Chain A
């Protein structure tokens, strides 16, 4: 009996069309936005894009790779610092330095993984946190980038403000689309299937001939690349970096929040989570400590009562899937 492998559905096609339309609308923002608010909107978008890319990569690492790290800010900050150092010290155009910063984060992830992979489960999480602290303390001693108080991205001097803002905005949009596409295509590929197998049962996957160790390393490096990209992009928009801001645990805390609320282990999760985070931040961000307290409480409640997150709930209930990575067999 011939068996048909179904890999998409109508809603995924619709999602693709709507997604492309949204990207097109966003890309033309400088054309249609009211002049007085365009600059602020673009800045806000860049910031959210960085959070989103970072959360997307955390989702790949934890939700698909099964590696729950609370030290991804190491790569975020590293990407940012490399971008800034290339721009300030080596006279590289900062916009070109952004992907280079991401690459540097991916490269450093290889030796870092050698240490981090000695630990498993919860201890892996705290171990990666220690590694991120080592990054922070090391950069705080580097006087060439201002030590503990940080420094500014002076390489962008001489570029007009509106040009700079627009270029940063388009770059953020492109990086966001690229991050979604990268993760989506990766998960739909043969390697993605192997990754899902590892997540579900590592020993069974290994016995089927999947090189578990190499696969985990690949995911770790890709996640570091994405985190580095987010960091380089963030500090390109921010124009100022300091070790405490670059290697703050809050980056990972917000990523965990977005992914857990949206639904871990599905691409839609961080998208939904980032939107919710953006809305909450917009309306309640001014409450400071109370707002953070509420976020922490919400993460606890969702984890206990809504294990699959909001999108996971919707998917179970209505069968929605915008980015199908499953293969369904139909005879």
Chain B
């Protein structure tokens, strides 16, 4: 009994690590420019497929087996950064304003474009990449508990990404610019910031996180072109449960969502995701500001 409980909790935490990586980019884009990116999940899927293609193109390095996906990821990150920067600078910036509709429609349209493009290029078959056994290795812990190596790596990366993002936001010039345009775009521009460029940098960083999440997802499991919407919803739930504006909150929200889903799956495999949605709605009713909302620094 206790063992099942501990194992469920551990699995939930590990799953939460993945959801946190899904959520950080969404949280960043909303935090800096109030932009709700409905194509977020499809962009993660797109990155998974880019990694899939990249693995096919990459020369097979002898002995480098399970490191190969990470090498592909390393190549993808600057590309994702550039893609995010360009998309924000030349497309999404035109949709920002008091009315949320234009940005919603454009990102929604983008999500349809990405999904159907992937269907056309790769068909509806689920794909995965070869991690040379990394995705099945596990660590034996005392008490008969075993946890997967790859999920553990994902969790550690999620914590590292959260810490890095929080540090960037709180302690760097760029982070100060992010906070300034988020608080008051006009005043920030009077102080010499170019909001359009700051926004583009925020999206660029969000895309780096999206690329990391996409590669790890396709290493962990299979991905098909229609997976995007559910990933968007999980990311969104993690952000709202954790409380907007705090990256550590997003991490905590993702953990909670992961644990709740695992408990749900344990009770009945058909209800796991449903259970996660219900807990999200409950949080919304009982504590709409989220569990760990940002406290303003004095």
Residues on A lying within 8 angstroms of B by beta carbon are: 62, 68, 70, 114-115, 118-119, 121-123, 125-127, 129-131, 133-134, 137-138, 140-141, 249, 253, 256, 260, 264, 289-290, 292-293, 295-300, 303-304, 307
Closest Cβ–Cβ distance, residue A138 to chain B (whole Å): 7
Q: Is the CB of B281 within 8 A of A134?
A: yes
Contacts A114-B285, A123-B36, A134-B278 supplied; 19 other A-B pairs, CB < 8 Å: A115-B281, A118-B288, A125-B38, A126-B36, A126-B233, A127-B236, A127-B284, A130-B280, A134-B281, A137-B271, A137-B274, A138-B274, A141-B271, A289-B119, A293-B112, A296-B108, A299-B105, A299-B112, A304-B102
Closest Cβ–Cβ distance, residue B147 to chain A (whole Å): 28
Binds A, one of B93-101, B172-180, B190-198: B93-101
Q: Is the CB of A125 within 8 A of B100?
A: yes
Q: Which residues of B contact A303 (CB under 8 A)?
A: 95, 102, 105-106, 109
Sample 30 A-B pairs with CB under 8 A, ordered by A number. A62-B101, A68-B100, A68-B101, A115-B281, A115-B284, A115-B285, A118-B285, A122-B30, A122-B34, A122-B35, A122-B103, A123-B236, A127-B236, A127-B284, A129-B233, A133-B273, A134-B274, A137-B271, A137-B274, A264-B101, A289-B117, A290-B120, A293-B112, A293-B116, A293-B117, A299-B105, A299-B109, A300-B106, A300-B110, A303-B109
Q: Is the CB of B116 within 8 A of A133?
A: no
Given contacts A114-B285, A121-B36, A122-B104, contact A253 B278 (CB under 8 A): no
Which listed residue (A127, A137, A307) contacts B273, Cβ 8 A? A137
The B contact surface, by secondary structure, is helix
Smallest Cβ-Cβ distance to B114: which chain A residue? A296
Closest Cβ–Cβ distance, residue A57 to chain B (whole Å): 16
Closest Cβ–Cβ distance, residue B100 to chain A (whole Å): 4
Q: Which residues of B contact A138 (CB under 8 A)?
A: 274
Is B164 part of the contact surface with A, judged by Cβ < 8 Å? no
Closest Cβ–Cβ distance, residue A251 to chain B (whole Å): 13
Q: Give complex CA distance A53, B44 in Å.
A: 34
Q: Is the CB of B285 within 8 A of A297?
A: no
Is B270 part of the contact surface with A, judged by Cβ < 8 Å? yes
Smallest Cβ-Cβ distance to A141: which chain B residue? B270
Q: Is the CB of A296 within 8 A of B109?
A: yes
Q: Is the CB of B36 within 8 A of A125?
A: yes
Closest Cβ–Cβ distance, residue A111 to chain B (whole Å): 10
Which listed residue (A249, A295, A298, A307) contacts B102, Cβ 8 A? A307
Q: Which residues of A contact B110 (CB under 8 A)?
A: 296, 300
Q: Kindly supply a per-residue 1/0 record for chain B positions 214-242, scoring 1 wherever the CB is within 8 Å of any chain A CB and 0 otherwise.
A: 00000000000000010011001100100
Is B91 part of the contact surface with A, judged by Cβ < 8 Å? yes
Closest Cβ–Cβ distance, residue A221 to chain B (whole Å): 19
Q: Kindly supply a per-residue 1/0 record for chain B positions 103-138, scoring 1 wherever the CB is within 8 Å of any chain A CB and 0 otherwise.
A: 111101111110011011000000000000000000
Closest Cβ–Cβ distance, residue B254 to chain A (whole Å): 15
Interface residues in B248-264 by Cβ distance below 8 A to A read none
Q: Which residues of B contact A123 (CB under 8 A)?
A: 30, 36, 236, 240
Smallest Cβ-Cβ distance to B278: which chain A residue? A134
Q: Give complex CA distance A114, B103 in Å.
A: 25
Residues on B lying within 8 angstroms of A by beta carbon are: 30, 34-36, 38, 91, 94-95, 100-106, 108-113, 116-117, 119-120, 229, 232-233, 236-237, 240, 270-271, 273-274, 277-278, 280-281, 284-285, 288
Closest Cβ–Cβ distance, residue A216 to chain B (whole Å): 15
Q: Which residues of A contact B101 (CB under 8 A)?
A: 62, 68, 264
Closest Cβ–Cβ distance, residue B270 to chain A (whole Å): 6
Smallest Cβ-Cβ distance to A297: which chain B residue? B113
Smallest Cβ-Cβ distance to A66: which chain B residue? B99
Q: Give complex CA distance A62, B110 in Å.
A: 20
Q: Give complex CA distance A140, B278 in Å.
A: 15
Closest Cβ–Cβ distance, residue B4 to chain A (whole Å): 24
Given contacts A122-B103, A126-B236, contact A289 B120 (CB under 8 A): yes
Q: Give complex CA distance A304, B108 in Å.
A: 13
Smallest Cβ-Cβ distance to B119: which chain A residue? A289
Q: Is the CB of B108 within 8 A of A70?
A: yes
Q: Which residues of B contact A299 (CB under 8 A)?
A: 105-106, 108-109, 112
Smallest Cβ-Cβ distance to A124: which chain B residue? B100
Q: Which residues of A contact B102 (CB under 8 A)?
A: 303-304, 307
Closest Cβ–Cβ distance, residue A61 to chain B (whole Å): 11
Q: Is the CB of A297 within 8 A of B281?
A: no
Which listed residue (B104, B233, B237) contacts A68, Cβ 8 A? B104
Q: Give complex CA distance A134, B271 in Å.
A: 10
Q: Give complex CA distance A62, B285 in Å.
A: 23
Q: Which residues of A contact B240 (CB under 8 A)?
A: 119, 123, 127
Q: Is the CB of A290 within 8 A of B116?
A: yes
Q: Which residues of B contact A119 (CB under 8 A)?
A: 240, 284, 288
Q: Give complex CA distance A141, B278 in Å.
A: 15
Smallest Cβ-Cβ distance to A199: which chain B residue? B99
Smallest Cβ-Cβ distance to A131: which chain B residue? B281
The 3 closest A-B pairs by CB, nearest first: A122-B36, A296-B112, A299-B109
Q: Which residues of B contact A256 (CB under 8 A)?
A: 105, 108
Q: Is the CB of A293 within 8 A of B113?
A: yes
Q: Give complex CA distance A134, B281 in Å.
A: 10
